[in-house]
Structures are given as structure tokens and as C-alpha cells.
Structure 1
Amino acid sequence: MKNILTLLKPILKFNYSHPYWVIIVSLIIAAVSGFYAIQLRIDTDIANLLPEDNPNVLALDRMNETVGGETEMQVVINSPSFEANKAFAEDLIERSLELYYPRYEDNYFKRAEFRRETEFTKNNALYLASDAELNDIISWLEDEIEQAKEEANPFYFDLGDEEEEEDTRTDDFEESYNTLVPTEYPISPDSTIMVVKFFPTGSKSDIQYLEDMFAEYDNLLASIEPATYHPEMEVRFGGRLKRHLEELTSIMDDVLGSFATGISSVILLVMFYFFIKKYLHYRKGTRGQGKYSFWSHVLRMPVPVLVIGIPLLISLVWTFGITYFYLGMLNTMTSVLFVILFGLGIDYGIHFYARYIELRSSGMNPFDAIMRTNEKTGEAIVVSAFTTAAALYILMFADFRGFSEFGFISGTGILLALFGMLYIMPALLVILDERWNWILISDEKKEEYTGVHRYPFSKTIVTVGLVASAVVVGFSGNLSFQYDFGELEPKFPEYEEFRSFAGQVETSSKRNPAYIVADNDDQVQEITEILNERARTDTTSPTIESVETLQERYPSTEAAEQEKLEKIAEARELLQDPFLVDREDEELDKLRQAAQTTEPFGIDQIPDYLKSRFVTKDGEVGRFVIIYPSVGLSDGRQSIAFKDDVSVVTLDSGEKFYAASTSIVAASMLDLMRTESPYMVAATFIFIYFFMLFSFRSFRWSLIAMLPLLVGLLWLFGIMMIFGLQFNFYNLVVLPAILGIGEDSGVHLAHRYREEGKNSMWQVLSSTGQHITMGSVTTMLGFAGLLFTNHPGLQSIGIMAVLGIAMTLLTSITFLPALIQWLEDKDWIRF
């Protein structure tokens, strides 16, 4: 590291000689970078956290291109009058579809979904039933006839053995019939609530479009005046599309809020710390007889913020300008990196500026103080920054883009912050100290401390630290992972209230389906057979409720048409059986009407509400296989199990087809992150160790510098177990960052101790110990802004980071000094 600093020394000398040019050029580059940085947008699509070549991501892209990944906007109308609701809905649809968006040169909405033409399907429901459903219906009718014959026998005695099986088949028929023939209007059971769905023309990732659309819709509803249709009419609109906008704006507000909280706290802390430190040095150096008053120092309190803050802000703007060209977008995990990097980067400035103040207060001139600080403290800063950056860059090798993008941005930000502190800050020091005299420092030399002060209770502290670590290792099996996605999403009361309100309208129990897009009808049939076989044979952990295709319901060949018509004719014949023909029964009445089909009909005659799931965006009948889960997918373990069951289907020909849905992508992401995170943490540990070995050129010292990090990490795990904190796919990303940040304290203390020599640990703590404490506290404050966000996932990052950095700091100022003192007493320390 000394060689690197020596190689770059001409740059430092140039900065001293031409400080204004350095600042002007840096600000110009920052202005250009800032122009692009402010164009970064946050992408909340979890599919984009997986590699672009992930099979399930490619399948989702293909599905969106073929089927369309539409997210609708719902309008809920409520009044005691069904007719008033209906009249309002019809007028609303007409007015809504006319809303024009100049920015797109198109209407806001492409279509609406409201009234269902159910009369046709009531009369032809059996023609649209699957072969399995038709066979079940025929079998049920035959059993009903047989049951009627037995009941007609005067010696019949009912044992009730077949009642449960009959009820099951009746329920299956009822469910299938309701799928084919829902209510004509989407209304609640008492007909007082009605739902209309609108499908937007714009993308849900276009925030401006969503904001404009909802604002325009507010104006539209006000202009229609629902009260004129019925005095008690209430109209609400929203759904997942509005929740998506709320999530985006919430994250943006959280980023700005955490930025304001974290950075203002850091600025105040830095300002007061350096004011006290510099003023005490000044008083000591002048023995209280300095020519500058206390208030002169108070007026210059913001100077440290300028000295450290300007290079840091320049480096951050550079970082996000580069991010714009390399990534183009931020994701949920990287959206808060500006605040985090502010807390991380300021650490290097604190160390540099604090050491500079100490050297200037000892009587050095600005040039010598800058060179000496760069030579001594600069080496520790470079080691620390390179270690942290390398630990973060390791994340770039992960396939999970939440890791890799976090690693790239934060690693780049660390290196640029290092450059800013080592080669932009000196220019500011020359201007503010030597040229403008804004940094008030005594030029009188002070006597150096020559006494010996041992670190107390060293053996006890080391023993307690190791025992506590061993206990944590013993109970490490109690650490757990949060699999419930719902616990990691922000709660929006308005959305929850709307969902509860709209949920009074009956909807299908089949939710969160996965799609497989095939190339031809034969593939559709084979995929369906394979999936049905999986569902039938999986008795231990079944996740497939049903598999649907339009090809299964609608015959596509003359032979299939004829076979289906024959089965319908058989059902009609059974319905005309003397034992059933006069029976009054709701299910039989539905079947009598549903069995009227006597000749094939065209696919264009099937109502849109029924075939829309199977029709492409171009209006053609698609070759889709729809798989409905039988388990709730909000639980990550069940989501992964469903993904494992359906994500890939291999045909006899060897051709593979992949299932697509946001739930499967989320499960793939969770599975990938869960698999990769142990390797990322292990690789970070190994890399940090070898970097320490390269820096210290000593096996013993590299191990000494690493031990506080390991012990601090174990103490973090202990706190997590005590308070029931869990890992999740948000906070796992910060673990490698904690390793890199935590190593910083040990590096600085070890370097300073080796510089000062034997019996110097107490003196080192009084100087460098203050600096690492300040650096760690400012980093924690940077992360602490996340504790006040509304997003539970971002909160968990803040909690993990604050606790992790606090534990590594604690071990650095207690366990590490005690360990060095104990080794020194044993005469095991080598310089």
C-alpha cells in the first residue's frame, strides 16, 4: 500500500500547488455526472433481480409479450340500488375510455371489463367442459339414476356410504360450472357493490403516467357526480396498480427521509466533534492565551463539514453518474445506497482530517502535515477502503442482481470516496487552512506523551469475548430466516381498506396462476398430462390445484368435436331417463340447459370473459397451460415448493418448457439468494483475510486484525437470537458490507499500534480510537436513517447494519486492545 501512495505522491503535490484547479475540475466532472445521476429511476420489479438469462425470467418475458402482463385498475361502486350502480358503471366506462393522454398521444385505457355475456355459456357449458369434467358429469348422472332406482325399491335401506363421494363430485361440478358461467355482473351477494376493471395503455413502471392517470381519474369522478345517480352512492378506485404507485412513492419518500435524517445527524456529529477536538488542541497549544476567541472557533464550526463533505458529495455524484451508464436503474435494495455511502465514505475523511489536525496542532506546517497524514493514516485508509470495496465487489459475482448491483455501486462508491478524501480534501485543506486561515490551529509545538498506560483487564476481556462467541456458535442453530414475503412489504392502510371493500364482490378462489407458453397443441396436451400426473402422484406435499388449457375445453379438430358432441348427447339421454326427467333439482336444471349443444360453434362465439385468459394480445387463441397453486404463495417455502413442482416441464422429445409468473420469479430469487449468500459471506471472509495478509505481510498480524471482526459478527448473531431477529432477502445483502466496514476499525488500530510501537495501545486508543469510533458512529447514522422508513425490508437493512457495525466497533475498542495487551504481556507481539 505504501508503494501505491508513493506512486501517487506527485498528484498530492500537484493538489497542494494548484488547489483551485483541483476543486474546479472536480466540480465540473461532478456537474456532468449529476446530470445523469438524477435521471436514475427505481425499478421495483422483482423479476429484474434475477439474471436476464434465467429460464423463468425468459418465460415471464415471453408470457408478457404473448399474453400481456396487464395490471388492472379497479373501480368499486357502492349504493343500495343495483340499477343506479349499473347506470353509473356504463356511463363511467364510456367516459373513461375517452380519457386522452397527450404525452402518449393515446387514451389512458385500452379496454374495460364489466358485463359478462353468460347466456351463451349457460346453453353450451358442457361443450366447454373438459373431458375429465364431462366424464365426471356422466358418471354422476349414472350414479344418480342408479340411486333413484334403489330408492324406488321398497326394501332399500340407506347406509350413507356414498354420500361423501357424491358431495365431492357435486362440489367439483359446481366449481367448474361457476368458472364457465359466473354472474352476469361482478357484484356482491346483496347486489349493492359492483366492480369495474380498466386496463391501462401505459406501463406500471412509468411513475409519471400513473400519477397523471390517477389525478385525471379523480377529476373524472368529480365531474360525473355519483350522487346524481343515487344520493348514497360511494365510488372508490385503486387496486394493485395504485398500490404499486404508493410503493414507488413510499420508497422515494423513504430515501429522501432517511437521507435527510442520516446526513443531518452525521453533519451535526462531525461538526461538534471536530469543534471540540480542534478547540481543545488550540487551547492546549496556546495555553489559553491564543489570539482567537471562543466565538471565532464557533463561527468556524461548519469548516470540517465543508472539508469532508465536499469531496464526499463529489465522489457520490460521480458514483451514481457511473451507475446510470452501467446499470441505468436502481432497485429496491440499491435505492438507499446514497445515504449508506455517505455514512461509509465520511469515515475516511474523518480519519484523514483528524490526523491532519493532530499533526498541525503539534507544530507541522500544512504541506508536511498533509504529506505525513497521507503517508501514515493514508496507508490504513487505503487498506480499509480496498478491503471494504473488494468485499463488496465480491457480490458482483452473484447471479442474484440484488447482490451484484449492490456490490458494484457500493464498491465503486467506496473507491471514489477514498480518492476524494486522499486527493480532493488536501486541496480544500490548502485553501481553507493555508490560504484563507479558516482552520484556527496553534503553531506552537507541544510535548509528546511519553508515559506507559496498560490496557486494563486484558485477560478477562479476551476470555469473556471468546466464551461469549463460543456460546453463540453453540446456539447458532436458533438463527432463522424470514420466508413470509408479506412481512417484508410495506403496509398501506388505504390499499388494505380498498381490497377489503372490493373483496365483497365474489371472485374465483383460483389465484396466482403460473403460465407455460407452448408452440403447438400437441405440446399443450403433453405438458398438461405431465403436470396432472405430478399433481396426482404428489401426496406428501402437493402444490398443484388444477391445470387448465383452452384446448382441453374447446375441441380443435373435427374428431374431437364429434367425440365431445357424442358425450353431450349421452348426458342429454341420461337427463331424459324416467328416474331424472321430472326431478326438480338445481344442479340438474343447470345441466339440462348446459347440454343443449348439438353442433360445433366457432371460437369467436365464446364470450370474451371466458376466453380472455387464453387469447394473445393479438386476439388469437394462444397455446397456454395455466397452473393454479393449491397453497398460499406468500410463504416463501410454499412458493419455492410450487416453483420446484412446475417451473420446468421436460417432454419426451427432451424439449423443456418453463413456467412463468411473478410468484415463481420471487421464489427463484429467494432460492438463488439463499443458495448464494453463504458463499458470498465465506468468499468475503477469505478475501479480507488474504488482503490483510498482503497488507501486514504477517500471518500473526493479519489474524489479530481479523479476530475482532469475527467476534463482532458472532456477537451480532447472539443479539439476533436474543431479540428474535431474522435474516431475510433484504438484510442478507448487507452482511458482506458489515464485514468490510467492520474490518476498518481493526485495520486502523493495528496500523497505528505498529507505527507507535510497544506499550502504546492506550495512546493509540486516545487518538485513533476516537477516530474509528467517530467513523463507525457516522456510518451507523447513515444506516440509521433506514430505521424510520415505512418499508420493513429496508428497515431490516438498517437494523442489521447498525447492530453489526456497533458490535464490530465494540470488539475493536475492547477485545482487540485487550488481545494485543495480553499478547504483549506474553511477549508474543512482533514488530
Structure 2
Amino acid sequence: MKNILRWCFKNITQKYPGSVLVFAILLSGLSIYVSLGLSYNSRMDNLLPQDLPLIKEFNEVVAKTGGSGPLVVVLEGLGQKRAPEAIRKLSNLLAEVEGAQYIDSQVPKEFLNNRQLLMLTRNELTQLESMIGGAIEYAREQLTGFSADGELFNPEKLQAFSENYQLFGEINPYHKGKNQRNYYIFVGLKGTVTDTDFTEKFVAQVQSAIDSSGLENQIPGLEIKLTGSLIVRLEENSFIISDLGNSALLAAFLVTAMILIYTRSWFSIPLIIFPLLLSMTYTFALTRLIIGHLNIISGFLVAILMGLGIDYGIHLYIRFKQELFKGRSIPGAAELAVTQVGRSGIIAMLTTISVFSILIFSEFLGFSEFGKIATLGIICAFFTYIFVFPAQAIFYDRVHWLGKPRPRLFVFKIYKLYSNTPYFLSVLFILLLVSSLFLLPHIEFEYDFQELRGDSPAADYETASTNDFGFAFSPTVMLTPKKENLFHVHQALETVREKNGERSTIGLQYSLNQFSRQEFESKKEILGRIRELFYEERNIIKLALGVARFVKFEQMLTSEPFDESAIPESIIYKLTAGDDFLLLMFSPSDKNFFNVKHVYQLSREMKDVKGILAEKNVPVSILNENLLAAEIMAWVKDKGPQAMVVAIAVVFLILILDLQSIVLAIKTFLPLITGLVLTGAIMAFFEVKLNFINIVMLPSIIGIMIGSCVYLSHHILDYSMGSTMKSLQETGSAIILSALTSLAGYASLNIAHHAGVNSIATVVEVGILTCTICALFMLPALFELGMSKASNIKDENNIDADIDLLDNVNDEA
């Protein structure tokens, strides 16, 4: 390996340093041009395999309906007197917006009036029958004073039921919230809600239409706001894109400042940073050509690549300066740094690539795309440094008016600790490893999506508006090719809802089936029983309800079935998608899908519904983005630990092949494992939770930190056994600087507004700190085991001599 690196240096880099630099810069310019088309894709469905049945259903329904929920326009503080005029004016303006499919601002009162009972499901009618019976007994007890044993009647439950379905009042012609001054208009989209460019343009046009209406100026106290999942998604996208830019700039500044402060040399900036920047442009271009986009996991590419790629430059630079200190010329020092550090770099690259390449083969595309980008970045960084770093050093040396890099010995001054107490340190870290294993089962997983999103005004307002309206704005959309299938879908939903009781996420259902004769016939018997009970106990019911409510209830009981030929066009348009028919299922407002327990409940219930329908050969496609979230969570929890275990095994195998000794491989690998286990223990102790974003970084900690162990063990072996302290003296500083720059790169994510992305920084920072400590203290102690005392004394004397020489050089300077 060294011979190949030496040949490349002598025949390419040393002969043509200027040409190497020009070629690298031109290639970077071309890469920048290619990478301009790299985009950020926020779609959650793109994180899952596209041949997954759930994804196929999702794409089918989105293509036919545009998405799972409308844009919601909320008119706050609108009085009843001005409502008709304001809603009519605004609806007309919204209908003219390009991309608007429908405007749902009014309830078809004439068509639905006195038919509220016909809109109830069979289970709901059965509940109503039971509550009416309970109310009659309760009223009789109040009149006679005689109380029969039985279940206590809850009048508040009947009151809430009647209010939810407007049983005793006139149907409000507009969509009104519990706050009597809040009105809602629903705007359907022709495009797909997953198309960010379309939705941004559409929302801007809707806002422009609202502004042009002048209603907020004309009506005192009126505020018109936009909400719905579409608005929440756009806000989240804007936060992430903003975080991308801010974290990239902060990472670049912190890494540059850290290197400059540590090395105290301006030459370190071009030698270390310039190749890194070139390699990142190559990576961006390859990402654009191979993948085409970034996702929520791979989006923070700059911070990740800085942490992964800069290690090669730091180790090359530190070794280069130390060889200059030993009296070598700049070309000679560059050659030795490239051949010796390059050999360790190749093994470090292979181990790191092995970690991320495992992710490439994951069917979970969030892992796969991250693995591809990280692998490309590592390869680009290594080869860029191997050629550009020495080319810069030689080229600058040939420019006579430029200053020259000054020799410097980076000293790690606590070396005596290892030779005096290797057994103590080894046992101490092994005890830490064993004790930390008991804390690993206590690591928790974050299930609250609202916690991952962080502060979100749009999400908070959507929650408040949903509670006011009573049902979720984004329904679960069910698509079926035949109208008669809707009846069976309703029956399946009711079966599953009855099975799950209060835990159920199945709420209000809306489809053309509710106006069908078949649906009426299925409920005719229950309606007959309620009607019979009503007339048998009419006197006591009239006394309990009052005359007005009694008359209203009687009108509902005697109303004729719906005339299917008279269904308003607005309803048909809303409940069909081309030749297919839709069923909209609205979950209760208290089943907030920010709580993943409700997401999993919805997922289970929809699977049960599908199972029931499959037995009847009724085809149905279901769309709800929360179903994607449940699937992603399942994949991450399943595939994440598997990738971790495989990565550890592959890295250990590579070390055995490289070092050709199981004992040496264990000594090199054990500090990394100890660091990883300590990271998990610290997370468990301080209640730092894993989530579907930061869990992908666990394998990357292996990739970042295995390099430190490889560089140090190779240096020890290159000096031959017995010179552990000499190796630590020369390599320890590079390991510390590498850890600091990696920390600086990931620390930039601490400013991310998105809490899930912010958590990446916390996990990786803890991992880097623990693994660095283990590499610097545990690995040398393990290699010191079995060393003779004479060799240790000789080694310490050599180090002391180097330090004395360094002090003399500093005094002369």
C-alpha cells in the first residue's frame, strides 16, 4: 500500500503539483455547476421503499385526489350578521385562485335538513336509542321519585351527542366552530400537497386573494388565518432549509477557527480546509447525479462531511509539521506524511466506508441515501487530500516569495500516566464498559412528533383550530372504484371502531353511501325502534325536551330517505375522484396525531379494516400521512440496531485483516466499543432520547471515531512495539484536533430550529467525546500491557529529549 502511495506521490504530485491543483480547481468548478440542481425533498414517502404496498396506495390516492387534506381558511371574530356576506365574497375570490379544485364554505342545508338521523351510522343510532331510553327512565324517576337499580344516566353525554350532530337545532349553513365567532372555509387543491413548489405558490395566491378582499379592514375584529397540514408542512420545510444554510456557515466558521487556534499557523487553512472544500463540491455533484436530492436525514450534509472528511487533512498536517521538525525538507516531509499517514487513512477510509455502505443496502431509503452520500463524501475527501495536500505544500515551496511552513512538534504531555498505570487504566475502562451495559436497556425512543418538530406556531394553531372545529382537518382518505363498495367500507369501519371503543381513532365518516337507499335500509330497523319508543313515551319526552325540540325530533323521525338523484353537485364533486369514489374519515380532535400512540392506533385499525374488506373482495386504497409515519418508525426501530450490529462486525473483520492479529484488532477495537457503550449509558442517564432522525448517526459515530484508533495503532506498530508513548506524543494531538473539528462541525446543528435535527448534535457530540477519551487513554494502556519497563524508560527519555529540543527551538525563535 505504501509503495502505491509513494509511486503516486513521486510520479504525479511531486512532478506536477501545479497541474494537480489546476485540475482539482477546474473539476470543482464543474462540480459546483452540476450540483446547482441539487434539491431538498421533504416528502416522508420518499424515505420508504417505493414498492411497499403502503407507498403504492399513497401515490395512487395522491395522484387522484391531490393529497390528504385541504387548505383551511379560518375567519376569527366574524359575527353572525356579517358572516354570509363575508364568506360569500371570500369564497368567490378563492374560487378564482389557480389550482383551486373546490371551495367548501357552506353546508347544503336544504338537502340535509331534518335528515340528521339518516347521517348517523348504525352504531351511533344504537347509542342514541340507548341514551333516549336512559333519558326516559331518568325523567320518570324525577317525576315519580321512584328509582330503579341500573346504570346511572349521563345527561351530559346525550347533550354532547346532540350538539355534535345538530339533532335539535337548525343546521348551520356554514362551517362553524365551537367558538360562535369562528368560521371555516375548506379549499381543495388540484395539485399534490407533496409538491412543495406548487403548494408554496398556491398558498401565496390564496393569501393574496384574502388581502385583496379587504375584509379584515372592513369588519372590525376579523382576522383571517390559514391552517391545515399543508401550512404546517411548509413551515417545517422553511425551518429546515433555513437550518441547512445557517448550520453550514456556522460549521465552516467553527472548524476554520478551531484549526487556526490550535495550529497557530495561517498555512494550516489552505493545507487542511482547501482540499476539504474541493471534496465537498465533488460530493455535492455526485449526489446530484446519483440521487438527485437530499432528504430530512441527509440534508445536513455540510456538517456531516466536515466531521467525516477533515480527519485525513488533520493527520496529514500534524505529521507533515512533525517531520519538518525532524529536519526533513518540505517534499520529503510531504512524501513521508502521504505514505505513512495515507496507509492508515486507507484503512480508516475502508472501515468508515464499510459502516456507511451497510446503510446503502437498507430498504429504508432514509438510511440508504444517507449511506450513499456519506460513502461518496469519504472517498472524495480521502483522494482529494492524498493528491491536493502534498501538491499545495510542494507548490508553495516553489513560490519563493511565499512564506514556508515552520516546523512544530505537537506534544501530548500526559504520556507518563500510561507507562506507570497501564493495568489500572485498562481495568478501569473495562469496568466502565461492563457497568454501562446495564444502562443500555433504559435508552428511550421519542414518540412525540411535536417534540421532534420543536416550536411550531403553525402546528400549535392547527391543534387549537382542530379542537375548536371538533374534527381533524386532514381526514383519512379511502378510495374505491365502485360506489356500492362504500357501504362495505362503512361497515368495516364501524366494526373496528366498536372493537376498539374509546381508544379508536375512527370518527365522523362522509361519503355518497350515506345518501344511498342501501344505507337507509340497513338502518331502517333501528330507526323504527327509536320511532316506536318516541311515540310510546311521547308525553314524557315532550316534557323532557320541550315543545320545540320535540317537534324537531319528530320531523327527523318521519323524514323521507335521501333522493340520490338530488344530491348537490358540490357534494358529488367533493366525494369523487375521477371514476373513483371517496370516503373521508375524520378522527376525533382528542386523537391528536402528534402523539405517536394515536398514530399506531390508526395504523392498526386501518390494517383491520383492510383485512375485513379483503375477505369480501372489496378493493380500497387508504391515504393518511400518519400511516407513513408509523411505517417509518417501525422501519427505523427495526433496521437501525441491525445496521449498528453489522457495522461493528464488519469494522472488526477489517481490522483483523489489516493487522493480521486478533489480539491487536481487539486492542484497537475495544476502545471504540467502550466509547459507544458509554455514549449509550450517558444518553440513558440524562434521558437523551433516540428518534428516527438521530438514530442514523449511531453507525456514523463508528465511522468518525474508528479512524482515531486506526491512526494511533498503526503509528505504534510502525515504530515497533515498545514505542507507544512516542506514537501517542505525535498522534495524540492530531486525534484531539480531529475530535474538536468534528465537534465543531456537528455543534453547528445545535442552532437548528427543528428539534429532531438538533438532537443529532447531542448524540454525536457525546459519542465523539467518549470515543476520543477512550482512544487516548484506553488504547495506549492496552498496547502498554506486557511492555518491559526498560523499553518504557527508553521511550520516555526519547520523548523528554524531543520536548527539550522543542523548548530550545522556541527559545531561539
**What is the TM-score when the length of structure 1 is the normalising length?**
0.84
Task: Report if the CA contact (8 A) 2:436-2:681 is conserved.
Answer: yes
Match of 1:124 among 115, 118, 124: 115
Match of 2:600 among 640, 660, 677: 640
**What residue identity is the alignment partner of 2:397?**
D
Q: Describe how 1:332-481 pairs up with structure 2 within 5 A.
A: 332-436=296-400, 438=402, 440-441=404-405, 455-481=419-445
Match of 2:555 among 593, 596, 599: 593
**What residue identity is the alignment partner of 1:761?**
T
Aligned partners of 2:376, 2:591: CA distance in 1, in Å? 42
576-585 or 727-736: bigger deviation = 576-585
C-alpha displacement of 1:770: 0.6
Q: What is the aligned partner in structure 2 of residue 311 from structure 1?
A: 275
**What residue identity is the alignment partner of 1:90?**
R
RMSD: 3.8
Alpha-carbon displacement from aligned partner over 1:415-465 (angstroms, at most 9, x marks no partner): 1111111122222222222345635146999xxx9x999634222222221
Q: Is 2:516 aligned against 1:555? A: yes
**What residue identity is the alignment partner of 1:316?**
M
**What residue identity is the alignment partner of 2:236?**
E
Q: Describe how 1:32-431 pairs up with structure 2 within 5 A.
A: 32-69=30-67, 71-79=69-77, 81-99=79-97, 107=98, 109-134=100-125, 157-159=146-148, 161=150, 163-164=152-153, 172=161, 175-176=164-165, 183-189=172-178, 191-213=180-202, 220-226=209-215, 228-275=217-264, 301=266, 303-431=267-395
Q: Could you say if the C-alpha distance between residues 661 and 758 of structure 1 is closer, same or farther in structure 2, counting changes exceeding 3 Å? A: same
C-alpha displacement of 1:38: 2.6
3-state SS in 2 of match to 1:83: coil
Aligned partners of 1:626, 1:243: CA distance in 2, in Å? 20
Task: Report if the CA contact (8 A) 2:446-2:690 is conserved.
Answer: yes
672-681 or 654-663: bigger deviation = 654-663
Q: Could you say if the C-alpha distance between residues 585 and 459 of structure 1 is closer, same or farther in structure 2, counting changes exceeding 3 Å? A: farther
Q: Describe how 1:424-823 pairs up with structure 2 within 5 A.
A: 424-436=388-400, 438=402, 440-441=404-405, 455-493=419-457, 495=458, 498-499=461-462, 502=465, 506-509=468-471, 513-520=475-482, 524-526=486-488, 528-537=490-499, 542-546=503-507, 548=509, 550=511, 553-555=514-516, 575=534, 579-580=538-539, 584=546, 588-598=550-560, 600-602=562-564, 604-606=566-568, 608=570, 615-618=575-578, 622=581, 624=583, 626=585, 628=587, 631-647=591-607, 649-650=610-611, 651-652=614-615, 659-823=622-786
3-state SS in 2 of match to 1:82: coil
Q: Could you say if the C-alpha distance between residues 327 and 655 of structure 1 is closer, same or farther in structure 2, counting changes exceeding 3 Å? A: farther
Q: What is the aligned partner in structure 2 of residue 29 from structure 1?
A: 27
Alpha-carbon displacement from aligned partner over 1:210-265 (angstroms, at most 9, x marks no partner): 55555555555554433552344333344443332222121111111111111111
**What residue identity is the alignment partner of 1:808?**
C
193-202 or 768-777: bigger deviation = 193-202
3-state SS in 1 of match to 2:593: coil
Task: Report if the CA contact (8 A) 2:482-2:580 is conserved.
Answer: no
Q: Could you say if the C-alpha distance between residues 488 and 426 of structure 1 is closer, same or farther in structure 2, counting changes exceeding 3 Å? A: same
Aligned partners of 2:665, 2:168: CA distance in 1, in Å? 68
**What residue identity is the alignment partner of 2:452?**
L
Aligned partners of 1:79, 1:155: CA distance in 2, in Å? 47
Task: Report if the CA contact (8 A) 1:386-1:415 is conserved.
Answer: no
3-state SS in 1 of match to 2:239: helix
797-806 or 814-823: bigger deviation = 814-823
Task: Report if the CA contact (8 A) 2:116-2:167 is conserved.
Answer: no
Aligned partners of 1:227, 1:577: CA distance in 2, in Å? 53
C-alpha displacement of 1:655: 8.0
Count of aligned residue pairs for this structure pair? 781
Task: Report if the CA contact (8 A) 1:312-1:421 is conserved.
Answer: yes
C-alpha displacement of 1:700: 1.1
C-alpha displacement of 1:170: 6.9
Aligned partners of 1:190, 1:155: CA distance in 2, in Å? 39
Q: Could you say if the C-alpha distance between residues 213 and 56 of structure 1 is closer, same or farther in structure 2, counting changes exceeding 3 Å? A: closer
Alpha-carbon displacement from aligned partner over 1:467-525 (angstroms, at most 9, x marks no partner): 122211123332222111111113123x2664477458x42346765444344466555
C-alpha displacement of 1:95: 2.9
Aligned partners of 2:493, 2:635: CA distance in 1, in Å? 24
Q: Could you say if the C-alpha distance between residues 604 and 38 of structure 1 is closer, same or farther in structure 2, counting changes exceeding 3 Å? A: farther
Alpha-carbon displacement from aligned partner over 1:115-165 (angstroms, at most 9, x marks no partner): 2222321233344443444566567778888999x789x988332635538
Aligned partners of 1:412, 1:685: CA distance in 2, in Å? 20
Aligned partners of 2:463, 2:158: CA distance in 1, in Å? 31
Aligned partners of 2:491, 2:224: CA distance in 1, in Å? 45
Aligned partners of 1:491, 1:628: CA distance in 2, in Å? 24
C-alpha displacement of 1:825: 4.7
C-alpha displacement of 1:526: 4.8
Q: Could you say if the C-alpha distance between residues 456 and 230 of structure 1 is closer, same or farther in structure 2, counting changes exceeding 3 Å? A: same
**What residue identity is the alignment partner of 1:751?**
H
C-alpha displacement of 1:725: 1.1
**What residue identity is the alignment partner of 2:581?**
G
**What residue identity is the alignment partner of 1:20?**
G
Percent identity over paired residues: 21
Q: Could you say if the C-alpha distance between residues 443 and 731 of structure 1 is closer, same or farther in structure 2, counting changes exceeding 3 Å? A: closer
Aligned partners of 1:795, 1:633: CA distance in 2, in Å? 22
Alpha-carbon displacement from aligned partner over 1:191-215 (angstroms, at most 9, x marks no partner): 3333333334555455555555555
3-state SS in 1 of match to 2:14: helix
Q: Could you say if the C-alpha distance between residues 705 and 142 of structure 1 is closer, same or farther in structure 2, counting changes exceeding 3 Å? A: closer
Task: Report if the CA contact (8 A) 2:134-2:153 is conserved.
Answer: no
Long gaps (5+) in structure 2:
793-813
Aligned partners of 1:190, 1:480: CA distance in 2, in Å? 39
Task: Report if the CA contact (8 A) 1:78-1:193 is conserved.
Answer: yes
**What residue identity is the alignment partner of 2:324?**
R
Task: Report if the CA contact (8 A) 2:178-2:469 is conserved.
Answer: no
Long gaps (5+) in structure 1:
100-106, 277-300
Q: Could you say if the C-alpha distance between residues 12 and 275 of structure 1 is closer, same or farther in structure 2, counting changes exceeding 3 Å? A: farther
Q: Could you say if the C-alpha distance between residues 29 and 203 of structure 1 is closer, same or farther in structure 2, counting changes exceeding 3 Å? A: farther
3-state SS in 1 of match to 2:722: coil
Aligned partners of 2:761, 2:509: CA distance in 1, in Å? 44
3-state SS in 1 of match to 2:455: coil
3-state SS in 2 of match to 1:111: strand
3-state SS in 2 of match to 1:88: helix
Q: Could you say if the C-alpha distance between residues 12 and 209 of structure 1 is closer, same or farther in structure 2, counting changes exceeding 3 Å? A: farther
C-alpha displacement of 1:760: 1.8
C-alpha displacement of 1:714: 1.7
C-alpha displacement of 1:552: 5.1
Task: Report if the CA contact (8 A) 1:43-1:332 is conserved.
Answer: yes
Q: Could you say if the C-alpha distance between residues 665 and 762 of structure 1 is closer, same or farther in structure 2, counting changes exceeding 3 Å? A: same
510-519 or 667-676: bigger deviation = 510-519
C-alpha displacement of 1:662: 1.0
